[in-house]
Structures are given as structure tokens and as C-alpha cells.
């Protein structure tokens, strides 16, 4: 699914008003994997929420395959995953995953059977368990299986693995990549981990502190699967670290200009 964003600004209308997004422009081709990195509280989740059609932007345009986000959301073509898992407590692991498949009105977009998904996320043994009896990492695995079960062609991933241990995280990153390469959904993936972004994405967007603006759009041209010990990989990680620092400095300087002469340059 193609994602086009232009002139997007968003301000929360409170006292005083809070500007979360500043002139975001973005064109994501169908099947691209785009990572977003930015400081805490800069506006990344807000951007994903707007793309998901969960809120209406103050200004600007978002279109998904030339349709408004609300239309695409109503067709169940968007999968959303965040740190907070929202499993149905009265359903077992199996029936939580199965529900996602039932929701999808177009079976041809379904990826795999529930059994395959249970195996994939390593929860076959726990298929009859209820969410409250699972660890945080296991709950997150169920949420991932549910995301995959939906067969959506746009995945909005808001730090989905932030609460997991590194080992589980590494395993799931491999699984996500396998799925992405097979099914080619468009992915917007928020992370605080530079390594994770370089392992996964075709492009990394570096955001400024709030209000979030895209400071840099860095292509990642390394072949998959990526070797995080390679020299090219390490060089990109370093380049991104420097770009993030430059984005912070740019923002800081811009804020000083505003404070010094009262106008935005
Ligand atoms: N519904 C809301 N009403 C008012 N302010 C909000 C609302 N949602 C978010 N904000 C504010 O907008 C700013 C951006 O929040 P957002 O959650 O988008 O940041 P983020 O980049 O995703 O942060 P993190 O990396 O910590 O998850 C924050 O200052 C937050 O307090």
C-alpha cells in the first residue's frame, strides 16, 4: 500500500496548545519498510495514529492507496501493534489469533493458518492458555501472530518489541523480516534502536524533537538478511547516530532563534 503524506501538521488543542507534528511530507512506495527514529515524546505515535485514521490532522493530507485512512481502516487493511498488547482476556491464545483471521473479510490476504502462526511464535504449547497466565514476552508474541493473521497490507508498528528481552527480540525481528519479504506489506516501524532500524528497514527517517519534523531520510541499501557485524552495517549505524545528534542540534538551534527574535526562520 502506498502512503502519501503532505504538509501534515498536528497540534493538540489544549492550554497551551501542543504542537506535535511540523510539516511532515513523506511518500512511501508499496512494500517499503520504513523505520522511524526520534527522541521520546517527539510525535512518532501521533503520526502513526493519524496514518491509522484514529485521529484527524489539524492540517495536511494523508492518503493510503489514494484513499483516506478511515476508508482503508474500515476495510481492515491496517494492522497496528504497540508495546501495550490488547489481547481479549476471555479468549485463549488460539482464539485470540483466530479472531484476527475472522475479522479479515478477504481470505486471500491471509498469510498462514492459526497452527502455522502458533508454531512461528513458539506458542503451540500454550494455545489453550489465557493471556493473563502468560509472560509479557509471550503476550507480545500472541500480538505479533495476530498482526500477521490479519493479512493487512499496511503494518503500523509502534515500538512493538520494546518491552522484550534482546534474545526474544532478535528472534522476532528475523520472523518479521521473513514475513515482510514473503508478503510485502508496507511497514512503518517506530523504534529507539538504531541497530533494529538498520536490520529491518529500506529507509530510516530521523525525526527532530517535538514538534516532529523529518530531519533526514536515510536509505539502507544493504542486502537481506543483514549481518550486523559487517563493516557496512556498522558504518550505517554510526552515520545514523551522527544524523540523530545533528537533528537534535538543528532543533536546538532553531528553538534558540525563535526565542531570540520571536520568529521562526
Ligand atoms: N491525545 C493527546 N492529547 C494531548 N497531547 C498528546 C496526546 N497524545 C500525545 N500527546 C503529546 O504529544 C507529544 C508527542 O507524543 P507521542 O506519543 O506522539 O510521542 P512519541 O514520539 O511516540 O514518544 P515515545 O517515543 O516516548 O513513545 C507528547 O508531548 C505527548 O504528551
**ipTM metric:** 0.96
Please indicate whether residue 40, judged by its CB atom, sits closer than 6 Å to ligand 1: yes
Phi, psi torsion values for 205, nearest 5 degrees: -95, 125
Reported pTM: 0.90
Q: Whose CA is nearest to atom 29 of ligand 1?
A: 41
Place of cell 530510516: 204
Q: How far apart are CA 149 and CA 3, in angstroms?
A: 22
pLDDT one-digit tens code per residue, 170-213: 888 888 898 898 888 999 999 999 999 999 999 999 999 999 99
Cis peptide before 211 (omega within 30 of 0): yes
Q: How far apart are CA 189 and CA 153, in angstroms?
A: 14
User: Structural domains in the chain?
Assistant: 3-77+153-262 (3.40.50.300)
- Where helices occur in the chain by DSSP H, the ranges are 44-51, 69-74, 93-103, 114-120, 136-150, 166-183, 194-200, 231-261
pLDDT of residue 126: 96
Percentage, residues of the chain above pLDDT 90? 65
To test the pocket of ligand 1, the residue of 10, 12, 38, 251 to mutate (highest count of ligand atoms within 8 Å of its CB) is 12
Please indicate whether residue 12, judged by its CB atom, sits closer than 6 Å to ligand 1: yes
pLDDT one-digit tens code per residue, 102-159: 776 565 555 678 998 898 888 999 999 999 999 888 898 899 888 888 889 999 999 9
pLDDT one-digit tens code per residue, 150-176: 889 999 999 988 878 888 888 888 888
Place of cell 478477504: 106
Amino acid at each position: 500500500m502506498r502512503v502519501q503524506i503532505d504538509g501534515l501538521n498536528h497540534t493538540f488543542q489544549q492550554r497551551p496548545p501542543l504542537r506535535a507534528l511540523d510539516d511532515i511530507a513523506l511518500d512511501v512506495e508499496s512494500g517499503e519498510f520504513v523505520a522511524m527514529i526520534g527522541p521520546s515524546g517527539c510525535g512518532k505515535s501521533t503520526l502513526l495514529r493519524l496514518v491509522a485514521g484514529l485521529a484527524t490532522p489539524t492540517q495536511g493530507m494523508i492518503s493510503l492507496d489514494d484513499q483516506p485512512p478511515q476508508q482503508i481502516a474500515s476495510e481492515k487493511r491496517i494492522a497496528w501493534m504497540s508495546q501495550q498488547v490488547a489481547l481479549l482476556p476471555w479468549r485463549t491464545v488460539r482464539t485470540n489469533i483466530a479472531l484476527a483471521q475472522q475479522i479479515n473479510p478477504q481470505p486471500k490476504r491471509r498469510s498462514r493458518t492459526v497452527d502455522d502462526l502458533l508454531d512461528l511464535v513458539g506458542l503451540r504449547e500454550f494455545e489453550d492458555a489465557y493471556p493473563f497466565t502468560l509472560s509479557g514476552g509471550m503476550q507480545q508474541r500472541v500480538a505479533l501472530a495476530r498482526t500477521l493473521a490479519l493479512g493487512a497490507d499496511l503494518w503500523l508498528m509502534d515500538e512493538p518489541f520494546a518491552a522484550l528481552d534482546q534474545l526474544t527480540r532478535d528472534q522476532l525481528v528475523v520472523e518479521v523480516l521473513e514475513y515482510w519479504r514473503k508478503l510485502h506489506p508496507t511497514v512503518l516501524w517506530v523504534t529507539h534502536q538504531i541497530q533494529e532500524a538498520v536490520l529491518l528497514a529500506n529507509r530510516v527517517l530521523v525525526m527532530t524533537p517535538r514538534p516532529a519534523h523529518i530531519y533526514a531520510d536515510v536509505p539502507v541499501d544493504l542486502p537481506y538478511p543483514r549481518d550486523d557485524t559487517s563493516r557496512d552495517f556498522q558504518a550505517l549505524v554510526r552515520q545514523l547516530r551522527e544524523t540523530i545528534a545533528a537533528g537534535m542540534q538543528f532543533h536546538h538551534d532553531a528553538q534558540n532563534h525563535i526565542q531570540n527574535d520571536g520568529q521562526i526562520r
